[in-house]
A and B are shown apart, each in its own frame.
Chain A
Amino acid sequence: NAGVTQTPKFQVLKTGQSMTLQCAQDMNHNSMYWYRQDPGMGLRLIYYSASEGTTDKGEVPNGYNVSRLNKREFSLRLESAAPSQTSVYFCASPLGAGQETQYFGPGTRLLVL
């Protein structure tokens, strides 16, 4: 039982390149979330998915797209990476049966040059 897994762990991109960050959870939960963490800003919600087939914007969705492929997987795509997207990205899913806490993956460090 791995909880929430993310790939890759680290990525370097050039400005304008595209990439997809992958997230999977094995807890059979409906909700999944993508956050970015920047110094002095805490974690900011990019997109979330309340259930399979649905996605909603968070605080900072611009420049990103998401896909809730199935109940287990929620991917985050950068179509044309910009240096402002250099950040650490975390995927999360509810910790238990309720929605009031979250379990985070280990994070993906992204550097856009």
Chain B
Amino acid sequence: DQQVKQNSPSLSVQEGRISILNCDYTNSMFDYFLWYKKYPAEGPTFLISISSIKDKNEDGRFTVFLNKSAKHLSLHIVPSQPGDSAVYFCAALYNFNKFYFGSGTKLNVKP
């Protein structure tokens, strides 16, 4: 049973608009939550993270929100750019040594 779920396999957004990617988890003991971006034929690259004791973390165009009561996190990209088109993985860290990944959401930003 997957502990981290991304229920939207794909998302299409117009350039300049906001992209919102969602992720749900089941284990309330996760320490950190992370977002990774992946281009075809490359390894995932770290994008942004948030500690379980915070509810928001911002880095440039990227903001991650954590709602612990709903066991839900989201990644906001504003404004979206065509270069943001990739697969985005949500991940959660347990006991500071095990990572659990969602199945990914493919973002397409249209020019």
Q: Which residues of A contact B (CB under 8 A)?
A: 4, 31, 33, 35, 40-45, 48, 50, 58-59, 90, 92, 95, 99-107
Contact = CB atoms under 8 A, between A and B. Distances in A.
A58 B94 CA distance: 12
Interface in B36-65: 36, 41-46, 49, 51
User: Among B6, B101, B102, which residue has the most Cβ atoms of chain A within 10 A?
Assistant: B101
- Chain B interface, DSSP helix/strand/loop, else mixed: strand
User: Among B9, B31, B36, which residue has the most Cβ atoms of chain A within 10 A?
Assistant: B36
A105 to B, nearest CB: 5
Interface residues of B, number: 28
Given A42-B102, A58-B98, A99 B93 contact: yes
A6 to B, nearest CB: 8
B77 interface: no
A99 B96 contact: yes
Contacts of A41: 103
B97 interface: yes
Contacts of B31: 100
A23 to B, nearest CB: 11
B46 A95 contact: yes
Contact of A102 (B99, B102, B104): B99
Nearest to A6: B43
